[in-house]
């Protein structure tokens, strides 16, 4: 069991409330995964100021000023619990390189023009406070609560998995053939951060996107290649996508209004969203890729 | 807020903001029949009102999570909201009514009673049903009535893929479109006795639909016994 919830805001007037709404969704998903949690926020100016590149990493255990100084090049850093977001007025690739040079052992958990990924071990409600999630804003965000089955309870095993620029994936379920696919991707030069099965899904999608496929096609290819159980919520800078395996045994419910689209493992996560009473609510069909763009 | 009917003095309210699900279920298991119960702030909690074995009237005022009213015997449980996976699973008797939508596996393995879902039910509604009557005001998802053995499933909207797959003897009535029929499920003629039972089911569910607008589906009974010619269908 894991819990997934995500929200893409269409009505800009709701953007300041993104974090508040996600906090409620995360709280309702907490019982599905009390061991660790993570969030991805797109367009939160507090964490990712406009015009800056942002790289998220698991905290090396240093104060923000020291992290920024080590990265250099005018970067600054925000510490949020067990995660850190480093920002700088350079390209995303340049900043990621600088972060990796400064902290060769650190695990980079996200990178992008306005994406911040925060995750850690602990109860989701506690982590939400550490992340100051209630004060976040932005155009879309996803949250995940983990009940570990395939690998250890560690910050790097927590979701979301963000392994390419602006791409995030959260997973409920377990892939059966992840070891085979990991081996194939490793042979092709892909480097992994964990032994987690969900990371294999994220790396696979990233590899398809790198080949030029769009997110919808990449997720169709994932359905062809992966065995096992999965409900996936996958986001890029402008797309919010949901897909389930052929049996669709892992739960998923989607709600949509003119102002937002949201997906969650259970309806209770969505019950607090504004206008839910008149939302179009449905459970996604097996192996059908749903995408929303903004 | 409360929608419980009857004399207020006989209604016991359990507020799940202060009481636990265990408190609620323990109370429902030890109370005497004929009592009315009101559950406030269910907030999507799982396992609400499970295992009741008495003639109670329970109203859950909000959304419920997994297995709501599971194993019900004799009680009438009404949910003023949506429910999660497995509502009324293994129900033996009584009535469970969901005013909103139901997630997967509604009425799974239920032996008896009436399950009414006024909104939509998703995948595998009535999976392995063993005698329950299920009336869905909206549509049902894929593989509904999978391996159904007895009982009736009435769908006033549409049915998803593989309706009635590997069906034994349950009878299925669908008013809208059926995306596809599962293995060994076939359309059958809607005779007078079917119109009569469908009328009764719709009446019991309080849903106003014309029975003549429905189609009936059932088992072709070709998978009852192993035949090597059918091996690809197993």
pLDDT per residue as tens digits for the range B128-186: 999 999 999 999 999 999 999 999 999 999 999 999 999 999 999 999 999 999 999 99
Mean pLDDT, chain B cut into blocks of 10 residues (234 residues total): 49 96 97 92 96 97 97 98 97 98 98 98 98 98 97 98 96 98 97 98 98 98 79 69
Determine the pLDDT at residue B184. 93
Q: With contact defined as beta carbons under 8 Å apart, do A137 and A43 qualify?
A: yes
> So what's the architecture of A3-41+122-293 in CATH?
4-Layer Sandwich (3.60)
**Chain B residues lying within 8 Å of A269, measured CB to CB:** 44
Question: A2, A168, A249, A269: which one is catalytic?
Answer: A2
Determine the pLDDT at residue B9. 53
Where exactly does CATH 3.30.70 map onto chain A? 49-113
Determine the pLDDT at residue A152. 86
**Sheet harboring A239-244: ordered strands across?**
A161-164, A167-175, A228-235, A239-244, A290-293
Q: Give the count of beta carbons closer than 10 Å to the beta carbon of residue B219.
A: 22
Q: Give the count of beta carbons closer than 10 Å to the beta carbon of residue A63.
A: 10
Contact A267 B142 (CB under 8 A): no
Determine the pLDDT at residue B165. 97
Q: Is A2 a catalytic residue?
A: yes
Determine the pLDDT at residue A224. 98
> So what's the architecture of A49-113 in CATH?
2-Layer Sandwich (3.30)
Contact A267 B160 (CB under 8 A): no
Q: What are phi and psi of A243, to 5 degrees?
A: -150, 150
Q: What are phi and psi of B45, to 5 degrees?
A: -65, 150
Element (H, E) at A157: none
**Chain B residues lying within 8 Å of A271, measured CB to CB:** 43-44, 63
Is B82 part of the contact surface with chain A (CB cutoff 8 Å)?
A: yes
Write down the ipTM of this complex.
0.89
Cα of B193 to nearest chain A Cα, Å = 34
Contact A248 B142 (CB under 8 A): yes
Mean pLDDT, chain A cut into blocks of 10 residues (294 residues total): 95 98 97 95 97 96 96 96 97 97 96 97 97 98 90 89 96 95 97 91 97 97 97 97 95 97 97 94 95 95
Of B119, B185, B181, the C-alpha closest to A283 is B119
Eight-state DSSP code of residue A115: E
């Amino acid at each position: 069991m894991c819990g997934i919830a995500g929200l893409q805001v269409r009505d800009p007037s709701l953007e300041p409330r993104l974090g508040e709404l996600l906090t409620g969704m995360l709280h309702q998903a907490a019982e599905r995964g009390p061991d660790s949690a993570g969030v991805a926020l797109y367009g939160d100016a507090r964490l990712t100021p406009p015009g800056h590149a942002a790289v998220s990493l698991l905290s090396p255990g240093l104060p923000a000023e020291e992290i920024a100084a080590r990265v250099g090049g005018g970067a600054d850093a925000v510490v949020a619990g067990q995660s850190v977001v480093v920002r700088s007025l350079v390209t995303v690739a340049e900043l990621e390189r600088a972060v990796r040079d400064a902290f060769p052992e650190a695990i980079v958990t996200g990178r992008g023009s306005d994406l911040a990924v925060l995750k850690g071990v602990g109860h989701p409600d506690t982590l939400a406070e550490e992340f100051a999630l209630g004060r976040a804003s932005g155009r879309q965000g996803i949250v995940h609560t983990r009940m570990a089955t395939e690998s250890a309870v560690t910050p790097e095993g927590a979701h979301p998995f963000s392994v390419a620029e602006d791409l995030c994936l959260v997973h409920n379920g377990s892939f059966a053939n992840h070891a085979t696919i990991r081996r194939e991707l490793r042979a092709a030069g892909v480097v992994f951060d964990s032994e987690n099965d969900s990371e294999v899904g994220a790396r696979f999608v990233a590899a398809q996107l790198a080949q030029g496929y769009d997110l919808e096609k990449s997720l169709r290819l994932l359905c062809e290649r992966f065995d096992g159980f999965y409900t996936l919520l996958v986001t890029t800078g402008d797309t919010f996508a949901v897909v389930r395996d052929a049996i669709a045994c892992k739960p998923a419910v989607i709600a949509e209004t003119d102002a937002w689209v949201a997906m969650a493992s259970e309806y209770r996560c969505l019950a607090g969203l504004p206008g839910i009473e008149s939302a179009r609510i449905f459970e996604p069909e097996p192996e059908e890729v749903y995408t929303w763009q903004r | 807020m409360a929608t419980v009917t009857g004399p207020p003095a006989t209604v016991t309210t359990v507020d799940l903001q202060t009481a636990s699900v265990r408190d609620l279920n323990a109370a429902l298991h030890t109370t005497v029949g004929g009592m009315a119960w009101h559950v406030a702030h269910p907030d999507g909690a799982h396992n609400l009102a499970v295992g009741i074995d008495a003639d109670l009237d329970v109203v859950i005022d909000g959304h419920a999570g997994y297995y709501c009213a599971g194993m019900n015997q004799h009680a009438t449980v009404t949910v003023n909201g949506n429910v999660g996976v497995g509502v009324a699973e293994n129900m033996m008797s009584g009535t469970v009514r969901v005013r909103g939508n139901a997630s997967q596996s509604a009425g799974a393995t239920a032996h008896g009673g009436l399950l009414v879902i006024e909104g939509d039910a998703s995948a595998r509604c009535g999976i392995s049903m063993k005698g329950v009557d299920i009336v869905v005001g909206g549509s049902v998802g894929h593989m509904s009535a999978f391996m159904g053995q007895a009982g009736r499933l009435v769908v006033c909207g549409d049915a998803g893929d593989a309706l009635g797959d590997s069906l034994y003897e349950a009878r299925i009535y669908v008013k809208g479109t059926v995306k596809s029929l599962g293995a060994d499920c076939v359309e059958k003629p809607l005779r007078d006795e079917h119109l009569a039972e469908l009328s009764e089911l719709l009446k019991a569910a309080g849903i106003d639909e014309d029975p003549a607008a429905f189609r009936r589906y059932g088992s072709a009974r070709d998978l009852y016994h192993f035949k090597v010619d059918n091996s690809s269908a197993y």
